Amino acid sequence: MDKQRNTGVLLAAIAMLSLLVSACGTQPNSGGTANSEPIVKTEPAKPPSDKGDQVVTGGDLDFINQAAPGNMVEVELGRLATKQATSSEVKKFAEQMIIDHTKAGEELKQVAQGKKVILPPDLMPKHQETMEKLSKLKGAEFDREYVKAMVADHEKDVAAFDNIAKTGVDADVKAFAAKTLPTLQMHLQMIREIESKMAKK
């Protein structure tokens, strides 16, 4: 009698275990663990950045407010050099300045308009001083002072554009700086070569 009872209990236990296994097997896959929450993947924390649709502030704003009159003075000095320079190389360089900095100025205007930034409309005082100084010179003396000014300006420009291309926050301002930088580096190389040739004469 006890054997029959024990056998009945054992069969009942096996049947219950089978039902439990079957029930677990029909649950939807939720990562391999019953009643577990779906696994949520998280991205590493990223520093905040402007994707190009925010207001330009800080160093980015200062950069474009410096770059705009910088482009203007390069164009104006280039025009002056085409009239008053003696060296054909200096005149050729000046013509390149007019073309490249006019283009860069227009591209910067588009960036500024997209950010609702009003760029400085006039040359900065230091630029006006350079213009006045060079406008009084002619011939070889003009060539020498113009080349000297262009070396100094482009050394500063290359450093400023390189810095914003690497560390700027606004995506559009960074892109403008990165795009313009190779042209400025080419200008610096050109004017240094002209300066070197003039020094040997």
Give per-residue pLDDT as tens, 77-134: 999 999 999 999 999 999 999 999 999 999 999 999 998 999 988 888 999 999 999 9
pLDDT at 57: 75
pLDDT at 4: 52
pLDDT at 30: 46
Instruction: Name every residue whose Cβ is closer than 8 Å to that of residue 149 and which is 6 or more positions away in sequence.
Output: 77, 130, 134
Q: What is residue 170's three-state secondary structure?
A: strand
Taking 70 as the threshold, does the pLDDT of residue 17 lie above it? no
- Specify the range with the lowest mean pLDDT, choosing from 7-11, 30-34, 159-163, 197-201: 30-34
Q: For the stretch 36-64, what's the b/e string if a residue is b when 16 or more beta carbons lie within 10 angstroms of its beta carbon? A: eeeeeeeeeeeeeebeeeeebeeebbebb
> For the segment 153-174, what is each residue's pLDDT rounded down to a tens digit?
999 999 999 999 999 999 999 9
CATH topology of domain 58-200: Ferritin (1.20.1260)
CB atoms within 10 A of CB 185: 15
Rounded to whole angstroms, the maximal C-alpha distance in the chain is 129
- How high is the mean pLDDT of the chain? 82
Its pTM stands at 0.71
Q: Where are the domains of the chain?
A: 58-200
Taking 80 as the threshold, does the pLDDT of residue 44 lie above it? no
Confidence of residue 11 (pLDDT cuts 50, 70, 90): low
